[in-house]
Chains A and B, each alone.
Chain A
Amino acid sequence: MKCRKCDERAVIRIRAHNLALCREDFLDFVLDRVQKAIRTYRLLQKGERVLVALSGGKDSLAAFDILQRLGYQVEAFHIDLGIDGFSEASLEAVKAFVKERGATLHLLRVEDELGMGVVEAARRLRRPPCSLCGMIKRYLMNRFAYERGFSAVVTGHNLDDEGATLLGNLLRWQTGYLSRQAPLLPSSHPRLIKKVKPLVLLSEREVLAYCLLRPISYLPDRCPYAKGATSIPQKEALNLLELHSPGTKLRFYQGFLEARGSLPQEEGELRECEICGFLTVREKCQFCTLKERLNATEGRER
């Protein structure tokens, strides 16, 4: 199989785009897809100070690498979640990556914020760790970006992630989530930093191939608590449809984004949390509520 662009030997076939590409042209293709997402969804402007949330996995490291190559002013951010074994390995992968690029790394530890890691917090409240983890990460990313004057927070969500989330929201008819799912969550208040997902037009397989070919050393392990996540069968279902009809995932997601404007916007009215001042639809934000509940468990744990 030859490269569609230059006749060199192809290293990958991408059926959704009816393309076969050599290493160099594939790496350019990936950068073009990200540039297209940035332009189409008006994600970023050149010159913005951008904070990229790095987990140490392939998607976030690829997002950082690509934005840096496209000339954006990027700094790295990592949250140590306090998950035994996994968090240490994640931090190692992130440190090695930023060192290689001479990039700035900002590090927060959940333990410094809550007095304990995510797993211990979840245990005390008898909740699954994943139900706290997403909220804690979003809160800390936003707060850090606000305090340090960043104008955007970038995450590495790819097309398979977004497609699986969309399918899940549709299967449960969560119209509130549907109206908020987008590659750009704009800043509607000075304390709410915009969130962008520049990899949404790249499949998980394309991101993995990018990391192999660039190369980028990422942490291949998944969080031990993510096993059995509902997104896994949803990704598999979409990839089965993709096999039978290449381009399905892109049409599903892009079609949704086009139709999204006509969905009723169910955003509750945002106000400032009475404790920390960051935005919430309640009197107290979920993060401050979590801290209060954990404080209340202190006596019982002793």
Chain B
Amino acid sequence: MAGREVEVPRRRVRVEKLLRDLGINPEVALVLKNGELVPEDEEIREGDRCQILLTVETG
């Protein structure tokens, strides 16, 4: 459940795509951009702080 900081992999990426690339089901994830909750169509840019919270522990 603890938040996981992720590097923004390219200059800009939508939350939806970022989760897909990381193999994370959006049904079990919430994404914070610079500390604020954002929906899946939000764009994250280089320099933004991006944090993913998962509801289910994996592995």
- From B26, B42, B53, B58, contact of A208 by CB (8 A): B53
B28 to chain A, nearest CB (A): 5
Per-residue interface assignment for chain B, residues 4 to 37, with 1 indicating a CB less than 8 Å from any chain A CB and 0 otherwise: 0000000000000000000001111110100011
| B58 cross-chain contacts in A, Cβ below 8 A | 232, 236
Question: Does A99 belong to the interface (CB within 8 Å)?
Answer: no
In the complex, the answer to whether B56 meets A235 with C-beta atoms within 8 Å is yes
A159 to chain B, nearest CB (A): 11
In the complex, the answer to whether A227 meets B57 with C-beta atoms within 8 Å is yes
In the complex, the answer to whether A1 meets B42 with C-beta atoms within 8 Å is yes
In the complex, the answer to whether A11 meets B57 with C-beta atoms within 8 Å is no
In the complex, the answer to whether B28 meets A239 with C-beta atoms within 8 Å is yes
In the complex, the answer to whether A209 meets B39 with C-beta atoms within 8 Å is no
B55 to chain A, nearest CB (A): 4
B2 to chain A, nearest CB (A): 5
In the complex, the answer to whether A236 meets B39 with C-beta atoms within 8 Å is no
By beta carbon, the residue of chain B nearest A10 is: B39
By beta carbon, the residue of chain B nearest A2 is: B39
A213 to chain B, nearest CB (A): 6
Per-residue interface assignment for chain A, residues 232 to 271, with 1 indicating a CB less than 8 Å from any chain B CB and 0 otherwise: 1001100110110000000000000000000000000000
A229 to chain B, nearest CB (A): 9
Question: Does B46 belong to the interface (CB within 8 Å)?
Answer: no
| A236 cross-chain contacts in B, Cβ below 8 A | 25, 28, 56, 58
| Cβ-closest 8 pairs across A and B | A204-B55, A239-B27, A220-B1, A13-B39, A11-B37, A1-B39, A242-B27, A1-B41
Q: Sample 22 A-B pairs with CB under 8 A, ordered by A number.
A: A1-B41, A10-B39, A11-B39, A13-B40, A20-B39, A204-B55, A204-B56, A205-B30, A205-B55, A208-B1, A209-B30, A209-B37, A213-B37, A222-B57, A227-B57, A232-B57, A235-B56, A236-B25, A236-B58, A239-B25, A243-B25, A243-B27
Task: Name B residues whose Cβ lies closer than 8 Å to a Cβ of A.
Answer: 1-2, 25-30, 32, 36-42, 53, 55-58
Task: Name A residues whose Cβ lies closer than 8 Å to a Cβ of B.
Answer: 1, 10-13, 15, 20, 23, 58, 160, 203-205, 208-209, 212-213, 220-222, 227, 232, 235-236, 239-240, 242-243
